[in-house]
A and B are shown apart, each in its own frame.
Chain A
Amino acid sequence: MKALLRWETALVFVLLVIALSAGSGFRSSQNLFYLGLDIGEIALIALPLTIVVVAGEIDLSVASVLGLSSALIGVLWQANWPLEAILPVVIVVGALCGALNGFLVTTLGLPSLAVTIGTLALYRGLALVLLGDTAVADFPPSYTSFGTQPVPGTGIPWPMLLFALLAVVFGVLLHASSYGRAVFAIGANAEAARFAGIRVRQVKFLAFTLAGAVAALAGIVYTLRFSSARADNGAGLELAVVAAVLLGGVSIFGGRGTLFGVIAGVLVLGALRNVLILNDVPTEVLTIVTGLLLLVSVLAPIRGRQDP
């Protein structure tokens, strides 16, 4: 735990260094607003994914659920559904996608890595079947402004406000509820947790279902932000989210991590990317930096654990 706390302190320190050393362009309210929009979907999905990873599992299908929900929004909108009706349906479908992952992992006992690589392809495929290569873009500005405008009277992007609310919910769920304690116990030793009377299957099933539902929510944010419903929306985003979670100090082996660390991880990755792009650093360098950072983040907590 001490090592982890040190890790999070380091992340916050890195964040401060970025914020202070970057030019005034970075600190301008406009840039911070854009930064908030840019990390919106990753930040949202990282919340439930933290629970999944702490429970010792992984979900790589989240970005495909995002794409599927975007495609679903497009199809239902084309069918003249009102958005008020579309949005709950999309979240339910997302939850069902997550529940299917959960069912395959818990009831059938399949490894989550294999299951979610499979559903990564499956959900993306379904999205393509639903919407094909077309893009639906004629959403009313009153809705798309949710993804592009600040909360009136503030500089806070709407998606960030949504994220802040969910962060509190997930913070309580993971760190201040019996459910959260069960998640940590399972991640540390699933067998021992089962003998201690923890309902391992239910706990994991719920974690996957939450991941699906929030990924669908992120799909809504994404679709409105770009006012473009497409089946390929968010392709590849799962790696960014996993990177953020691991950078946040969550152990890939389960049982360790904090939501605070993950939030710091999301912010560090987002801010770093923003600063590099703002300074015209080529994309290749950007990718290399992210990769190195991820390696460090996987190595550091392990090192801390072996060497208490």
Chain B
Amino acid sequence: MRPLGLLATVLSGALLISACGGTTRENSTGNGGPTGSATTANPQAPLRTGLKITYLPKQVNNPYFTVVRGGAENAGKELQAEVKTTGPSDASAASQVTYINTAAQQRQDALVLAANDPNAVAPALKTARAQGMKVVTLDSDVAADARDVFVNQVNSTDIAVKQIELLAEAIGGEGEFAILSATANATNQNTWIEIMKQELVKPRYTKLKLVETAYGNDDDQTSFQKTQALLAAHPNLKGIISPTTVGIAAAARYLSSSAYQGKVALTGLGTPNQLRAFVKNGTVKSFALWEPAKLGYLATQAAAALASGRVTGSQGQKFAAGSLGEYTIGQSGEIVLGPPTVFTTDNVDRFDF
């Protein structure tokens, strides 16, 4: 191939995309802040039907987000909205951006997403919002100016306090305990642990002693070994709190296969399906978690309220969230699902997630 000919073909190839692109992209410069059509909420506005809502989980085929999806789809049915799920197969920071752009491109009315990175998705979300799409985050928030509302599964204090309460109950209010967390720099876990430590200062918990915080890196095998190590290092250990679904399942597996079963209490955050057997064999007396299906349901209801102009995301606005009742938007657009659900042998069979 002759150099000149080659050059021409290389150039044309490289410019193919942009050449097809034509002139200036609309809205290319207008990706400032929120520019929703309605700047004031009209609580009386009729709830729109036929809304197109995209649900974008951190990654598809993640069991947790599949349960969230079920809730979102239920809300969609009630609202006569079209809810579809799309997303990347890996939970990397940037992989969601393509799907956000696609949702904007498909003129979806609202996007419900759990962000892999608070910042990487922000520019795409801002552009999409500038085009009129409402953005609701759940589970993991993004920069506040890149979404309309954030549906938080639980208040950090509630979840931390509840776990200490469950532990105290399980070990009779006194003794040594350890925490088996996820990674050493997991933001939510560390927040909870910090609140737990503050809680321990209270008079009723003076006989509880936190002896070690171990990190299982949210890896089943590592968490299993760390449990083993905790029990070896602290012969007087009475209980373990594992504020991570991976950690608590691994710890339960170790305990139930060891002489410590029933002697060392285990509680924390887990799912009923993971822990059902361990609740029934006495390894775990009680554990807590929010209900992911309710999370998806509430976020979808919020998305519909936003797209219908009933709320704009400002603090103090109220909206009806179907079977969950009325919710009020809190500071910086945050909506809290509610207190965590506690699972025991009495109710564990009623849940499937």
Contact = CB atoms under 8 A, between A and B. Distances in A.
Given A258-B1, A277-B99, A32 B18 contact: yes
Interface in A17-33: 19, 25, 27-33
A228 B117 contact: yes
A196 B60 CA distance: 54
Given A27-B20, A33-B21, A34-B101, A235 B92 contact: yes
B38 interface: no
A228 B123 CA distance: 10
B44 interface: no
Given A132-B185, A155-B24, A267-B13, A277 B18 contact: no
B232 interface: no
Contacts of A154: 18, 21, 23-24
B323 interface: no
A203 interface: no
Interface residues of B, number: 54
Interface string B147-159: 0000000000000
A228 B105 contact: no
Contacts of B21: 29, 32-33, 36, 150, 154-156
Contacts of B31: 148
A287 B7 CA distance: 33
Interface in B1-53: 1, 3, 6-7, 9-11, 13-18, 20-26, 28-29, 31
A308 B99 CA distance: 43
A233 B94 contact: yes
Looking at chain A, what size class is its interface with the partner chain? 35 or more
Given A25-B105, A132-B185, A36 B17 contact: yes
A44 to B, nearest CB: 11
A176 B94 contact: no
Contacts of B13: 167, 260, 263-264, 267
Contacts of A233: 93-94
Given A168-B7, A277-B86, A230 B117 contact: yes
A277 B93 contact: no
A168 B84 CA distance: 42
A68 interface: no
A259 interface: yes
Contact of A283 (B20, B60, B104, B118): B60
A226 B119 contact: yes
A236 interface: yes
B49 to A, nearest CB: 21
B178 interface: no
A232 B105 contact: no
B88 A283 contact: yes
Nearest to B60: A283
A148 B14 contact: no
A171 interface: yes
A135 B117 contact: yes
Interface string A242-263: 0000000000000000111001
Given A171-B6, A222-B94, A35 B123 contact: no
Contacts of B20: 19, 27, 29, 32
Interface string A104-145: 000000000000000000000000000011010100000010
Contacts of B90: 236
A226 B14 contact: no
A163 B18 CA distance: 11
Contacts of A278: 102, 105-106
Interface string A271-297: 001100110101110010000000000
B71 interface: no
B65 to A, nearest CB: 13
B120 interface: yes
A199 interface: no
B123 A144 contact: yes
Contact of A280 (B22, B29, B84, B124): B84
Nearest to B107: A25
B101 to A, nearest CB: 4
Contacts of B120: 135, 137, 226-228, 230
Contact of A167 (B10, B25, B99, B123): B10
A3 B338 CA distance: 65
A149 B60 contact: no
A98 B92 CA distance: 25
B10 A171 contact: yes
Contact of A153 (B14, B24, B122): B24
Contacts of B9: 260
B126 to A, nearest CB: 9
B264 interface: no
Given A154-B24, A287-B89, A277 B6 contact: no
B191 interface: no
Interface in B114-150: 117-124, 127, 143
Contacts of B89: 283-284, 287
A137 B117 CA distance: 10
A150 B3 contact: no
A280 B25 contact: no
Given A154-B24, A287-B89, A172 B7 contact: yes
Contact of B93 (A25, A226, A282): A226
A168 B10 contact: yes
A236 B24 CA distance: 33
B87 A283 contact: yes
Contact of B11 (A32, A137, A168): A168
A227 B86 contact: no
A29 B22 contact: yes
A263 B17 contact: no
Interface of B: 1, 3, 6-7, 9-11, 13-18, 20-26, 28-29, 31, 60-61, 84, 86-90, 92-94, 97-99, 101-102, 104-106, 117-124, 127, 143, 183, 185
5 contacts: A29-B21, A32-B21, A36-B21, A163-B14, A233-B94
The 7 closest A-B pairs by CB, nearest first: A155-B21, A137-B119, A156-B18, A176-B3, A226-B120, A164-B14, A228-B120
